[in-house]
Protein backbone atom coordinates (compact mmCIF):
# COMPACT_ATOMS: atom_id res chain seq x y z
CA UNK A 1 0.00 0.00 0.00
CA UNK A 2 2.67 2.42 1.06
CA UNK A 3 4.11 2.69 -2.45
CA UNK A 4 0.85 4.37 -3.52
CA UNK A 5 1.11 7.24 -1.06
CA UNK A 6 2.81 9.53 -3.57
CA UNK A 7 0.31 8.59 -6.27
CA UNK A 8 -2.71 9.05 -4.01
CA UNK A 9 -1.36 12.35 -2.78
CA UNK A 10 -0.85 13.55 -6.38
CA UNK A 11 -4.41 12.57 -7.27
CA UNK A 12 -5.91 14.33 -4.29
CA UNK A 13 -3.96 17.51 -4.94
CA UNK A 14 -4.72 17.63 -8.66
CA UNK A 15 -8.44 16.83 -8.70
CA UNK A 16 -9.41 20.37 -9.76
CA UNK A 17 -7.10 20.26 -12.74
CA UNK A 18 -8.44 16.90 -13.94
CA UNK A 19 -12.07 17.92 -13.45
CA UNK A 20 -11.32 21.08 -15.43
CA UNK A 21 -9.97 18.91 -18.26
CA UNK A 22 -13.09 16.75 -18.08
CA UNK A 23 -15.26 19.87 -18.18
CA UNK A 24 -13.55 21.05 -21.37
CA UNK A 25 -14.18 17.64 -22.92
CA UNK A 26 -17.85 17.63 -21.88
CA UNK A 27 -18.26 21.17 -23.23
CA UNK A 28 -17.35 19.83 -26.68
CA UNK A 29 -20.57 18.25 -28.02
CA UNK A 30 -19.97 14.94 -29.79
CA UNK A 31 -23.37 13.46 -30.64
CA UNK A 32 -22.88 10.47 -32.90
CA UNK A 33 -26.61 9.98 -33.62
CA UNK A 34 -26.75 13.54 -34.96
CA UNK A 35 -23.23 13.75 -36.44
CA UNK A 36 -22.39 16.76 -34.23
CA UNK A 37 -18.84 17.67 -33.17
CA UNK A 38 -17.24 14.25 -33.68
CA UNK A 39 -14.09 15.37 -35.50
CA UNK A 40 -13.54 18.22 -33.06
CA UNK A 41 -13.91 15.90 -30.09
CA UNK A 42 -11.62 13.26 -31.59
CA UNK A 43 -8.94 15.93 -32.11
CA UNK A 44 -9.32 17.11 -28.53
CA UNK A 45 -8.96 13.58 -27.16
CA UNK A 46 -5.87 12.96 -29.33
CA UNK A 47 -4.32 16.14 -27.94
CA UNK A 48 -5.02 14.95 -24.40
CA UNK A 49 -3.16 11.73 -25.13
CA UNK A 50 -0.21 13.56 -26.70
CA UNK A 51 0.03 15.77 -23.61
CA UNK A 52 0.92 12.56 -21.71
CA UNK A 53 3.58 11.53 -24.19
CA UNK A 54 1.36 9.16 -26.11
CA UNK A 55 1.60 8.81 -29.84
CA UNK A 56 -1.94 9.53 -30.93
CA UNK A 57 -3.61 8.98 -34.28
CA UNK A 58 -7.08 9.99 -35.40
CA UNK A 59 -7.85 7.04 -37.64
CA UNK A 60 -10.58 7.16 -40.27
CA UNK A 61 -13.29 4.52 -40.52
CA UNK A 62 -16.38 4.46 -42.71
CA UNK A 63 -18.04 6.27 -39.80
CA UNK A 64 -16.65 8.46 -37.02
CA UNK A 65 -12.85 8.33 -36.55
CA UNK A 66 -11.21 6.19 -33.88
CA UNK A 67 -8.54 7.78 -31.70
CA UNK A 68 -5.67 5.37 -31.11
CA UNK A 69 -2.96 6.21 -28.60
CA UNK A 70 0.05 4.28 -27.36
CA UNK A 71 2.88 4.78 -24.86
CA UNK A 72 5.51 2.24 -23.95
CA UNK A 73 6.14 1.36 -20.35
CA UNK A 74 8.65 -0.52 -18.20
CA UNK A 75 7.24 -4.05 -18.38
CA UNK A 76 6.63 -5.74 -21.69
CA UNK A 77 2.94 -6.18 -21.06
CA UNK A 78 0.19 -4.18 -22.71
CA UNK A 79 -3.09 -2.95 -21.31
CA UNK A 80 -5.77 -1.54 -23.59
CA UNK A 81 -8.32 0.98 -22.41
CA UNK A 82 -11.44 0.87 -24.54
CA UNK A 83 -13.39 4.16 -24.38
CA UNK A 84 -15.64 6.28 -26.55
CA UNK A 85 -15.76 10.03 -27.03
CA UNK A 86 -19.29 10.16 -28.48
CA UNK A 87 -22.36 10.87 -26.37
CA UNK A 88 -26.11 10.38 -26.48
CA UNK A 89 -28.32 13.19 -27.85
CA UNK A 90 -29.13 15.67 -25.06
CA UNK A 91 -32.88 15.82 -25.76
CA UNK A 92 -35.29 16.45 -24.06
CA UNK A 93 -33.51 19.70 -23.24
CA UNK A 94 -36.26 21.09 -21.01
CA UNK A 95 -35.64 18.37 -18.41
CA UNK A 96 -32.05 19.43 -17.71
CA UNK A 97 -31.41 21.58 -14.63
CA UNK A 98 -28.29 23.03 -16.30
CA UNK A 99 -27.45 23.09 -20.03
CA UNK A 100 -26.11 19.67 -21.14
CA UNK A 101 -22.95 21.04 -22.74
CA UNK A 102 -22.14 23.52 -19.98
CA UNK A 103 -20.69 21.28 -17.26
CA UNK A 104 -22.02 22.30 -13.87
CA UNK A 105 -20.59 21.33 -10.46
CA UNK A 106 -23.19 21.01 -7.72
CA UNK A 107 -22.88 19.26 -4.35
CA UNK A 108 -19.96 17.08 -5.28
CA UNK A 109 -21.38 16.08 -8.63
CA UNK A 110 -20.50 17.21 -12.15
CA UNK A 111 -23.47 17.41 -14.52
CA UNK A 112 -23.41 17.34 -18.32
CA UNK A 113 -24.19 15.16 -21.32
CA UNK A 114 -21.58 12.45 -21.63
CA UNK A 115 -19.94 13.23 -18.30
CA UNK A 116 -20.57 9.69 -17.10
CA UNK A 117 -20.91 7.93 -20.42
CA UNK A 118 -18.07 8.01 -21.23
CA UNK A 119 -15.92 11.14 -20.90
CA UNK A 120 -15.06 10.91 -17.19
CA UNK A 121 -13.70 7.43 -17.86
CA UNK A 122 -11.29 8.89 -20.40
CA UNK A 123 -10.02 11.73 -18.22
CA UNK A 124 -9.88 9.80 -14.94
CA UNK A 125 -7.74 7.14 -16.63
CA UNK A 126 -5.47 9.87 -18.01
CA UNK A 127 -5.40 11.30 -14.49
CA UNK A 128 -4.13 7.94 -13.16
CA UNK A 129 -1.44 8.01 -15.84
CA UNK A 130 -0.44 11.53 -14.81
CA UNK A 131 0.00 10.30 -11.25
CA UNK A 132 2.09 7.31 -12.31
CA UNK A 133 4.32 9.51 -14.49
CA UNK A 134 4.64 11.99 -11.65
CA UNK A 135 5.81 9.23 -9.32
CA UNK A 136 8.08 7.23 -11.64
CA UNK A 137 8.62 9.20 -14.87
CA UNK A 138 7.51 6.13 -16.78
CA UNK A 139 4.52 3.87 -17.03
CA UNK A 140 4.69 0.45 -15.38
CA UNK A 141 3.58 -1.25 -18.63
CA UNK A 142 2.60 -0.45 -22.19
CA UNK A 143 -0.72 1.32 -22.47
CA UNK A 144 -2.95 1.65 -25.50
CA UNK A 145 -6.19 3.59 -25.85
CA UNK A 146 -8.91 2.80 -28.35
CA UNK A 147 -11.38 5.67 -28.15
CA UNK A 148 -14.14 5.30 -30.70
CA UNK A 149 -16.88 7.72 -31.76
CA UNK A 150 -19.84 5.45 -32.52
CA UNK A 151 -20.52 3.59 -29.29
CA UNK A 152 -23.88 5.32 -28.88
CA UNK A 153 -24.88 4.28 -32.39
CA UNK A 154 -24.07 0.59 -32.07
CA UNK A 155 -20.28 0.77 -32.79
CA UNK A 156 -21.09 -0.03 -36.38
CA UNK A 157 -17.50 0.25 -37.69
CA UNK A 158 -15.51 -0.87 -34.65
CA UNK A 159 -15.40 -4.57 -35.41
CA UNK A 160 -13.97 -3.93 -38.88
CA UNK A 161 -11.48 -1.40 -37.43
CA UNK A 162 -10.24 -4.00 -34.97
CA UNK A 163 -9.93 -6.69 -37.63
CA UNK A 164 -7.97 -4.30 -39.87
CA UNK A 165 -5.60 -3.26 -37.05
CA UNK A 166 -5.06 -6.48 -35.17
CA UNK A 167 -1.27 -6.07 -35.04
CA UNK A 168 -1.42 -2.51 -33.82
CA UNK A 169 -3.93 -3.47 -31.16
CA UNK A 170 -2.03 -6.45 -29.76
CA UNK A 171 -2.31 -6.50 -25.99
CA UNK A 172 -2.66 -8.73 -22.96
CA UNK A 173 -5.78 -7.36 -21.31
CA UNK A 174 -8.47 -4.74 -21.66
CA UNK A 175 -10.26 -2.39 -19.30
CA UNK A 176 -13.75 -1.69 -20.55
CA UNK A 177 -15.30 1.74 -21.01
CA UNK A 178 -17.70 1.41 -18.10
CA UNK A 179 -18.10 0.00 -14.64
CA UNK A 180 -19.19 1.26 -11.29
CA UNK A 181 -20.68 0.72 -7.91
CA UNK A 182 -24.13 -0.44 -6.91
CA UNK A 183 -26.60 1.24 -4.55
CA UNK A 184 -24.48 0.12 -1.55
CA UNK A 185 -21.33 1.68 -3.11
CA UNK A 186 -19.96 -1.82 -3.65
CA UNK A 187 -17.78 -2.00 -6.81
CA UNK A 188 -19.05 -4.41 -9.44
CA UNK A 189 -17.15 -6.46 -11.99
CA UNK A 190 -19.32 -7.05 -15.08
CA UNK A 191 -17.76 -9.83 -17.10
CA UNK A 192 -19.99 -10.56 -20.04
CA UNK A 193 -22.39 -8.74 -22.30
CA UNK A 194 -25.27 -10.22 -24.16
CA UNK A 195 -25.23 -9.77 -27.91
CA UNK A 196 -27.88 -7.87 -29.79
CA UNK A 197 -29.66 -7.99 -33.11
CA UNK A 198 -31.73 -4.86 -33.68
CA UNK A 199 -34.18 -4.76 -36.57
CA UNK A 200 -36.97 -2.59 -37.82
CA UNK A 201 -39.95 -4.41 -39.29
CA UNK A 202 -41.69 -2.30 -41.89
CA UNK A 203 -44.92 -2.77 -43.81
CA UNK A 204 -46.23 -0.55 -46.59
CA UNK A 205 -49.44 -1.57 -48.35
CA UNK A 206 -50.79 1.61 -49.97
CA UNK A 207 -49.45 4.83 -51.44
CA UNK A 208 -51.43 6.94 -48.97
CA UNK A 209 -53.44 6.67 -45.77
CA UNK A 210 -57.10 6.10 -46.63
CA UNK A 211 -60.31 7.10 -44.85
CA UNK A 212 -61.24 4.08 -42.76
CA UNK A 213 -64.87 4.36 -43.88
CA UNK A 214 -63.76 3.76 -47.45
CA UNK A 215 -60.98 1.25 -46.99
CA UNK A 216 -61.80 -0.61 -43.80
CA UNK A 217 -63.54 -3.58 -45.40
CA UNK A 218 -61.59 -3.93 -48.62
CA UNK A 219 -58.02 -2.63 -48.35
CA UNK A 220 -54.93 -4.14 -46.76
CA UNK A 221 -54.10 -2.39 -43.49
CA UNK A 222 -50.37 -2.06 -42.77
CA UNK A 223 -50.94 -1.87 -39.00
CA UNK A 224 -52.89 -5.12 -39.00
CA UNK A 225 -50.25 -6.86 -41.11
CA UNK A 226 -47.59 -5.73 -38.65
CA UNK A 227 -49.57 -6.84 -35.60
CA UNK A 228 -50.24 -10.25 -37.09
CA UNK A 229 -46.60 -10.69 -38.09
CA UNK A 230 -45.35 -9.66 -34.64
CA UNK A 231 -47.79 -12.01 -32.93
CA UNK A 232 -46.10 -14.93 -34.72
CA UNK A 233 -42.69 -14.03 -33.20
CA UNK A 234 -43.58 -14.53 -29.58
CA UNK A 235 -46.70 -15.51 -27.70
CA UNK A 236 -47.99 -14.45 -24.28
CA UNK A 237 -46.01 -17.36 -22.76
CA UNK A 238 -42.84 -15.44 -23.80
CA UNK A 239 -41.53 -18.34 -25.89
CA UNK A 240 -39.89 -17.06 -29.08
CA UNK A 241 -41.41 -18.90 -32.02
CA UNK A 242 -38.79 -18.34 -34.74
CA UNK A 243 -37.58 -21.80 -35.74
CA UNK A 244 -33.96 -22.33 -34.72
CA UNK A 245 -33.84 -19.27 -32.47
CA UNK A 246 -32.75 -21.33 -29.46
CA UNK A 247 -30.24 -23.51 -31.36
CA UNK A 248 -26.66 -23.84 -30.07
CA UNK A 249 -27.15 -21.80 -26.92
CA UNK A 250 -24.28 -22.13 -24.49
CA UNK A 251 -26.04 -22.54 -21.16
CA UNK A 252 -24.74 -20.89 -17.99
CA UNK A 253 -22.38 -22.99 -15.88
CA UNK A 254 -22.65 -24.05 -12.26
CA UNK A 255 -20.05 -21.37 -11.50
CA UNK A 256 -22.24 -18.73 -13.18
CA UNK A 257 -25.14 -19.69 -10.96
CA UNK A 258 -22.93 -19.57 -7.87
CA UNK A 259 -21.76 -16.08 -8.79
CA UNK A 260 -25.31 -14.90 -9.52
CA UNK A 261 -26.47 -16.44 -6.28
CA UNK A 262 -23.93 -14.31 -4.38
CA UNK A 263 -25.30 -11.08 -5.83
CA UNK A 264 -28.05 -9.10 -4.10
CA UNK A 265 -31.66 -9.76 -5.04
CA UNK A 266 -33.04 -7.30 -7.59
CA UNK A 267 -36.77 -7.90 -7.28
CA UNK A 268 -37.43 -5.24 -4.68
CA UNK A 269 -35.22 -2.64 -6.32
CA UNK A 270 -36.80 -3.14 -9.77
CA UNK A 271 -40.29 -3.14 -8.29
CA UNK A 272 -39.57 0.27 -6.80
CA UNK A 273 -37.52 1.74 -9.63
CA UNK A 274 -39.70 0.62 -12.57
CA UNK A 275 -43.11 0.26 -10.92
CA UNK A 276 -43.18 -3.47 -11.68
CA UNK A 277 -46.57 -5.04 -10.98
CA UNK A 278 -45.36 -8.56 -11.67
CA UNK A 279 -42.42 -10.21 -13.34
CA UNK A 280 -43.08 -12.42 -16.35
CA UNK A 281 -42.77 -16.22 -16.53
CA UNK A 282 -43.94 -16.51 -12.92
CA UNK A 283 -40.63 -15.12 -11.62
CA UNK A 284 -40.68 -13.47 -8.23
CA UNK A 285 -37.03 -12.80 -7.38
CA UNK A 286 -33.96 -14.61 -6.10
CA UNK A 287 -31.36 -16.31 -8.28
CA UNK A 288 -33.92 -17.47 -10.84
CA UNK A 289 -34.87 -13.88 -11.64
CA UNK A 290 -31.22 -12.79 -11.83
CA UNK A 291 -30.33 -15.74 -14.10
CA UNK A 292 -33.32 -15.11 -16.37
CA UNK A 293 -32.40 -11.45 -16.70
CA UNK A 294 -29.05 -12.15 -18.34
CA UNK A 295 -28.70 -15.75 -19.54
CA UNK A 296 -31.84 -15.94 -21.66
CA UNK A 297 -32.20 -14.46 -25.14
CA UNK A 298 -35.07 -12.04 -25.73
CA UNK A 299 -37.34 -10.57 -28.36
CA UNK A 300 -38.38 -7.08 -27.25
CA UNK A 301 -40.65 -4.67 -29.07
CA UNK A 302 -38.87 -1.35 -28.48
CA UNK A 303 -41.32 0.76 -30.47
CA UNK A 304 -44.47 0.69 -32.57
CA UNK A 305 -45.62 3.36 -35.00
CA UNK A 306 -48.48 3.56 -37.45
CA UNK A 307 -51.25 5.89 -38.56
CA UNK A 308 -52.83 8.43 -36.23
CA UNK A 309 -51.26 8.85 -32.81
CA UNK A 310 -52.55 12.23 -31.64
CA UNK A 311 -55.30 13.00 -29.16
CA UNK A 312 -58.85 11.84 -29.82
CA UNK A 313 -60.00 9.99 -32.89
CA UNK A 314 -59.01 10.10 -36.53
CA UNK A 315 -60.58 7.61 -38.87
CA UNK A 316 -57.70 6.53 -41.00
CA UNK A 317 -56.49 3.26 -42.46
CA UNK A 318 -52.70 3.47 -42.28
CA UNK A 319 -50.60 2.92 -45.40
CA UNK A 320 -47.49 2.14 -43.34
CA UNK A 321 -46.54 0.59 -40.03
CA UNK A 322 -43.28 -0.26 -38.36
CA UNK A 323 -41.89 -1.85 -35.24
CA UNK A 324 -38.44 -1.62 -33.65
CA UNK A 325 -37.48 -5.01 -32.29
CA UNK A 326 -34.35 -6.01 -30.42
CA UNK A 327 -33.18 -9.52 -29.81
CA UNK A 328 -30.70 -9.90 -26.93
CA UNK A 329 -28.42 -12.79 -27.74
CA UNK A 330 -26.51 -15.16 -25.52
CA UNK A 331 -23.28 -16.96 -26.41
CA UNK A 332 -23.87 -19.27 -29.36
CA UNK A 333 -26.18 -16.89 -31.27
CA UNK A 334 -24.94 -14.68 -34.11
CA UNK A 335 -26.88 -11.58 -35.30
CA UNK A 336 -26.74 -12.38 -39.04
CA UNK A 337 -28.05 -15.87 -38.39
CA UNK A 338 -30.96 -14.48 -36.36
CA UNK A 339 -31.90 -12.11 -39.19
CA UNK A 340 -31.84 -15.05 -41.64
CA UNK A 341 -34.07 -17.13 -39.38
CA UNK A 342 -36.44 -14.21 -38.84
CA UNK A 343 -36.78 -13.70 -42.60
CA UNK A 344 -37.40 -17.40 -43.18
CA UNK A 345 -40.00 -17.47 -40.40
CA UNK A 346 -41.90 -14.43 -41.68
CA UNK A 347 -41.91 -15.87 -45.20
CA UNK A 348 -43.14 -19.23 -43.93
CA UNK A 349 -45.95 -17.51 -42.02
CA UNK A 350 -47.10 -15.60 -45.13
CA UNK A 351 -45.50 -12.29 -44.20
CA UNK A 352 -43.27 -11.79 -47.23
CA UNK A 353 -44.64 -8.23 -47.21
CA UNK A 354 -42.98 -7.45 -43.87
CA UNK A 355 -39.59 -5.90 -44.63
CA UNK A 356 -36.65 -6.30 -42.25
CA UNK A 357 -34.11 -3.53 -41.85
CA UNK A 358 -31.07 -4.62 -39.85
CA UNK A 359 -30.06 -1.72 -37.59
CA UNK A 360 -27.05 -3.24 -35.90
CA UNK A 361 -25.85 -6.17 -33.91
CA UNK A 362 -23.04 -7.90 -32.18
CA UNK A 363 -22.65 -11.35 -30.67
CA UNK A 364 -22.42 -11.95 -26.95
CA UNK A 365 -18.97 -12.31 -25.38
CA UNK A 366 -17.76 -13.30 -21.94
CA UNK A 367 -14.56 -13.21 -19.93
CA UNK A 368 -13.73 -16.04 -17.51
CA UNK A 369 -14.51 -14.83 -13.97
CA UNK A 370 -11.39 -16.68 -12.78
CA UNK A 371 -9.01 -15.07 -15.29
CA UNK A 372 -5.89 -13.69 -13.51
CA UNK A 373 -6.49 -10.21 -14.93
CA UNK A 374 -9.99 -10.18 -13.47
CA UNK A 375 -8.48 -11.16 -10.12
CA UNK A 376 -5.98 -8.28 -10.38
CA UNK A 377 -8.70 -5.75 -11.08
CA UNK A 378 -10.85 -7.09 -8.24
CA UNK A 379 -8.01 -7.25 -5.73
CA UNK A 380 -6.76 -3.70 -6.42
CA UNK A 381 -10.30 -2.44 -6.21
CA UNK A 382 -10.74 -3.57 -2.63
CA UNK A 383 -7.92 -1.27 -1.45
CA UNK A 384 -9.75 1.73 -2.87
CA UNK A 385 -13.42 0.96 -2.37
CA UNK A 386 -13.15 -0.88 0.95
CA UNK A 387 -15.54 -3.59 -0.20
CA UNK A 388 -14.50 -6.63 -2.22
CA UNK A 389 -15.58 -6.33 -5.85
CA UNK A 390 -18.65 -8.37 -6.62
CA UNK A 391 -18.33 -10.54 -9.69
CA UNK A 392 -21.22 -10.40 -12.14
CA UNK A 393 -20.53 -13.12 -14.72
CA UNK A 394 -22.83 -11.58 -17.33
CA UNK A 395 -25.16 -8.59 -17.67
CA UNK A 396 -28.28 -8.15 -19.76
CA UNK A 397 -27.01 -5.22 -21.83
CA UNK A 398 -24.86 -5.36 -24.95
CA UNK A 399 -21.67 -3.78 -26.19
CA UNK A 400 -18.87 -4.34 -28.65
CA UNK A 401 -16.77 -6.65 -26.47
CA UNK A 402 -16.92 -9.56 -28.93
CA UNK A 403 -13.95 -8.39 -31.10
CA UNK A 404 -11.84 -7.68 -28.01
CA UNK A 405 -12.57 -11.11 -26.56
CA UNK A 406 -12.67 -13.19 -29.74
CA UNK A 407 -10.51 -11.36 -32.29
CA UNK A 408 -7.87 -9.85 -30.00
CA UNK A 409 -8.13 -12.69 -27.49
CA UNK A 410 -8.19 -10.43 -24.44
CA UNK A 411 -9.71 -10.79 -21.01
CA UNK A 412 -11.98 -7.77 -20.58
CA UNK A 413 -12.64 -6.39 -17.12
CA UNK A 414 -14.86 -3.52 -16.14
CA UNK A 415 -14.23 -0.72 -13.67
CA UNK A 416 -15.63 2.76 -13.66
CA UNK A 417 -17.56 5.68 -12.29
CA UNK A 418 -21.12 4.51 -12.75
CA UNK A 419 -23.51 4.59 -9.81
CA UNK A 420 -27.28 4.03 -9.71
CA UNK A 421 -28.20 7.70 -10.09
CA UNK A 422 -25.70 8.55 -12.83
CA UNK A 423 -28.52 9.06 -15.38
CA UNK A 424 -26.57 7.93 -18.43
CA UNK A 425 -28.67 8.49 -21.60
CA UNK A 426 -31.06 10.69 -19.58
CA UNK A 427 -31.33 14.37 -18.60
CA UNK A 428 -29.09 15.51 -15.72
CA UNK A 429 -26.42 12.90 -16.43
CA UNK A 430 -23.81 13.24 -13.71
CA UNK A 431 -20.84 11.73 -11.90
CA UNK A 432 -19.85 11.77 -8.26
CA UNK A 433 -16.40 13.33 -7.79
CA UNK A 434 -15.58 10.96 -4.94
CA UNK A 435 -15.99 8.08 -7.38
CA UNK A 436 -13.91 9.97 -9.96
CA UNK A 437 -10.98 10.06 -7.54
CA UNK A 438 -11.49 6.44 -6.56
CA UNK A 439 -11.48 5.28 -10.17
CA UNK A 440 -8.19 7.10 -10.84
CA UNK A 441 -6.67 5.53 -7.70
CA UNK A 442 -7.95 2.13 -8.79
CA UNK A 443 -6.58 2.44 -12.32
CA UNK A 444 -3.13 3.45 -11.09
CA UNK A 445 -3.10 0.29 -8.98
CA UNK A 446 -4.35 -1.90 -11.85
CA UNK A 447 -1.53 -0.69 -14.10
CA UNK A 448 1.15 -1.35 -11.50
CA UNK A 449 -0.17 -4.75 -10.44
CA UNK A 450 -0.82 -5.85 -14.01
CA UNK A 451 2.79 -4.95 -14.93
CA UNK A 452 4.06 -7.22 -12.18
CA UNK A 453 1.80 -10.14 -13.05
- Cβ contact 402:195 at 8 Å: yes
Binder of a second copy out of 216, 372, 388, 409 (CB under 8 A): 216
> Taking CB under 8 A as the criterion, which residues in 353-382 touch a second copy?
359-360
Least distance CB 312 / a second copy (angstroms): 6
- Cβ contact 294:194 at 8 Å: yes
Which CB atom, from 210 or from 389, has the smaller least distance to a second copy? 210
Reading phi first (left if > 0) and then psi (alpha if -120 to 50, else beta), residue 115 is in alpha
Rounded to the nearest 5 degrees, what angle is found at the Cα of 444, between the Cα atoms of 191 and 403?
A: 35
Least distance CB 385 / a second copy (angstroms): 23
220 binds a second copy per the rule CB under 8 A: yes
> Taking CB under 8 A as the criterion, which residues in 291-350 touch a second copy?
292-294, 296-298, 300-309, 312-319, 321, 323-324, 326, 328, 350
Residue 183, Cβ density class (10 Å: 0-12 exposed, 13-18 middle, ≥19 buried): exposed
Which stretch in 105-113, 233-241, 374-382, 405-413 sits in contact with a second copy by CB under 8 A? Answer: 233-241
Which CB atom, from 70 or from 182, has the smaller least distance to a second copy? 182
Per-residue CA distances from 124 to 2, 92, 118, 131 (Å): 22, 28, 10, 11
Which stretch in 92-100, 103-111, 198-206, 249-257 sits in contact with a second copy by CB under 8 A? Answer: 198-206
Reading phi first (left if > 0) and then psi (alpha if -120 to 50, else beta), residue 35 is in left
Least distance CB 273 / a second copy (angstroms): 8
Closest CA to 174 of 399, 6, 18, 384: 399
Least distance CB 4 / a second copy (angstroms): 35
Least distance CB 147 / a second copy (angstroms): 22
> Taking CB under 8 A as the criterion, which residues in 17-46 touch a second copy?
33
- Cβ contact 410:166 at 8 Å: no
> Taking CB under 8 A as the criterion, which residues in 107-146 touch a second copy?
none
334's CB contacts (< 8 A; 6+ apart) are 195, 363
196 binds a second copy per the rule CB under 8 A: yes
Binder of a second copy out of 55, 231, 248, 253 (CB under 8 A): 231
Provide the 8-state DSSP code for 36: B
Which stretch in 66-74, 243-251, 340-348, 393-401 sits in contact with a second copy by CB under 8 A? Answer: 393-401
259 binds a second copy per the rule CB under 8 A: no
Burial 371-402 (b: 16+ CB within 10 A, else e): bebbbbbbebbeebbeeebbbbbbbeebbbbb
d(CA 100, CA 88): 11
> Taking CB under 8 A as the criterion, which residues in 140-169 touch a second copy?
153-154
> Taking CB under 8 A as the criterion, which residues in 72-101 touch a second copy?
none
Size of the site for a second copy (CB under 8 A): 82
Binder of a second copy out of 2, 94, 277, 370 (CB under 8 A): 277
> Taking CB under 8 A as the criterion, which residues in 399-438 touch a second copy?
425
Least distance CB 240 / a second copy (angstroms): 11
Least distance CB 400 / a second copy (angstroms): 14
Q: Is 278 helix (H, G, I), strand (E, B) or coil?
A: coil
Amino acid sequence: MSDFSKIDSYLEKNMDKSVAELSRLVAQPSISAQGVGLKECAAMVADMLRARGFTAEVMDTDGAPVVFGERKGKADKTLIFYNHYDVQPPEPLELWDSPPFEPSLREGKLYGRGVSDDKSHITSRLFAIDALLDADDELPCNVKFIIEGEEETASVHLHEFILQNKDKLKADACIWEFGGVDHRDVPMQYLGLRGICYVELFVEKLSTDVHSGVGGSILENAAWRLVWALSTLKGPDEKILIPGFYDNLQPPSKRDRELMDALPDVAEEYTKRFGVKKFIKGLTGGTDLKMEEVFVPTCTICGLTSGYQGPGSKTVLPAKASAKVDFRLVPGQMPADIVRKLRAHLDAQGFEDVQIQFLGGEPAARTDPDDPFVRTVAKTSEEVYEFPMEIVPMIGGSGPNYPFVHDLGLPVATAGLGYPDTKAHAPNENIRLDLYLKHARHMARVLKEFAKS
